[in-house]
A = this chain, B = another copy of it.
Amino acid sequence: MSYAAPLADIRFALEACAGFWSVREGGRFPDLDEDLLSAILEGAAALSNDTLAPLNRVGDQVGVTLKEDVVTTPPGFREAYQAVRDGGWQGIAFDPAYGGQGLPRSLMVSVLEMINGANMSFGLLPLLTLGAIEAIDLHGAPDQKALYLEKLISGEWTGTMNLTEPQAGSDLGAMTTKAVPRPDGSYVISGQKIFITWGEHDLAPNIIHLVLARIEGAPAGSKGISLFIVPKFRDEDGSRNAVRCIGLEEKMGIHASPTCTMAYEGATGWLIGGENKGLAAMFTMMNAARLNIGLQGAAVAEAACQKAYAFARERKQGGALIIEHPDVKRMLVTMRAKIQAARAICYATAVAADKGQHAREALLTPIAKAWSTDLGVEAASLGVQVHGGMGFIEETGAAQYYRDARIAPIYEGTNGIQAIDLYGRKILGDRGEEMRRLIAETVDAAKHAHGKIGQRLKEGAAALEEATAYMLAASRPDALAGATEYLALAGDVVGGMLLASGLKRALALPAMTKSLLVEQEALLGYYAETVLARAAGRLPAIKIGAAALG
């Protein structure tokens, strides 16, 4: 049993819960219709199911190797990457002027879910390239765009983001990588970066590194950081730049994704986005990157859930298939209900981005990232449990999801950092205005929902309202002490609201069958009694205050 892209669930979450078709409002995306959507989703499903999923296990077992600066990827990865290039998958949501397809980000995001569900290690490569494309698209000079965008959007070249340094962790202000200006306008980049995902590999002829560094004489701390483009091969003459991978991390999971230590030894780089504006440039990319990692959480949860279903449907115990055991059923439906909520949150974030609803996109992003990646770990753990003893045996494959999933709550800003962002930048940023809009939508969804579901949504909305008022009124230390639990509550409630809104919106969508609606309502019913019913119980933890943490 391999991964099979869950097209019905994806379409319900995208079209019904996240309100996908509203992206066409105002005449945008005029070519986008039902046929195009189907074609893209089905194409991505075929790529994911047939090409990427079969490489997931071999990627885990063989992993990547480094020898004389060359990183070798597992067998089959070259052909798979070629398939991604051939399909134009890297460029779905980018500017047609540079070869992109100009489609909504929310559509790309559903494609990314499938790619990452099939093969999380592989999926990181297009994810990182997306970040590089966005950086250059948003902050690059015209000649930089001309040089790089087309080849990155086509997937001919790939991209990286170089932030972390050995001594600095998430504290970007402490970085020491140096940039010394040359008379020709370029810079000499020297320093070391760690945890660089797909920093070196054999899948593409060139790799475009986006590197944070400090220009000589720049202010101390985070205000003196600039962003540079450092291509592996220099553009003007194709000569090899002085950047190389000097080490690979031995990780618990995502073995097929090289996590590189990169040495910049007098490499030539070009400033992008203005002197000392590096962090600002990174931040504009961050919402997108964080959402994409949230999707990884939902994706690995889905993959783990599918594997667990397949096992439960064929494994007998005490004369019956184990899927007949109530506790196995419970684990499976827990996974499915929460996955659908996570998917809805992630897709709704992307739809907000497509519609230019910046406040909503900004508010939902940390929730999408943290809530979905926590679910990734939880679902992968449940997936192992459904397998019983076989789940602990590597050959089964359930263990790989458990190991792979664990990175997602950490990278692209730990989930603790997401909680700080939700409180400090988002809730304080607009004094809770956008969150109150979500709460109002939850109250509205409650009115239209059936019986108990409506009641649970109402309770959830009330708890989120009380918690938001607390976060706005509390001292900063007290609010930070409750920030993670606040984010969890927000995810619980917004996830439920989106599922309920989806049921209502689906009535007007001809593609949604009656049986799908019955199934989705059952998932929401389960979610209401197990997740929403516990949401208000988070209030004491949210309000616990800094003193209680010792």
Measured CB to CB, the residues of A under 8 A from B are: 164, 169-171, 173-174, 195, 249-253, 315-319, 325-331, 333, 377, 381, 384-385, 388-389, 391-395, 399, 402-403, 406-407, 409-411, 414-416, 419-420, 456, 477, 480-481, 483-485, 522, 525-526, 529-530, 533-541, 544, 546, 548-550
Contacts and interface: CB of A to CB of B under 8 A. Distances in A.
Contacts of A381: 377, 381, 406
B481 A330 contact: yes
B391 A326 contact: no
A170 B388 contact: yes
A186 to B, nearest CB: 31
Given A169-B315, A195-B389, A326-B477, A540 B530 contact: yes
A53 B174 CA distance: 35
A389 B417 CA distance: 13
Interface of A is mostly: helix
A329 B550 CA distance: 7
Contacts of A419: 327
Nearest to A169: B317
A414 B399 contact: no
Copies of this chain in its oligomeric complex: 2
Of the candidates A169, A195, A319, the one having the most CB atoms from chain B within 10 angstroms of its own CB is: A169
A538 B195 CA distance: 40
Of the candidates A407, A538, A549, the one having the most CB atoms from chain B within 10 angstroms of its own CB is: A549
Contacts of A483: 326-327
A331 B410 CA distance: 14
Given A391-B410, A537-B537, 7 more contacts: A169-B389, A249-B392, A251-B393, A325-B416, A327-B483, A388-B414, A389-B410
Contacts of A253: 392
A327 B416 contact: yes
Contact of A416 (B328, B377, B481, B540): B328
Nearest to A329: B549
A402 B415 CA distance: 18
A328 B318 CA distance: 45
Contacts of A252: 392-394, 399, 402-403
A330 B402 contact: no
A254 to B, nearest CB: 8
Contacts of A407: 392
A412 to B, nearest CB: 11
A174 B317 CA distance: 9
Contacts of A173: 318
A484 B541 contact: no
A397 to B, nearest CB: 11
A533 B522 contact: no
Contacts of A525: 548
Contacts of A420: 327
Contacts of A392: 249, 251-253, 406-407, 410
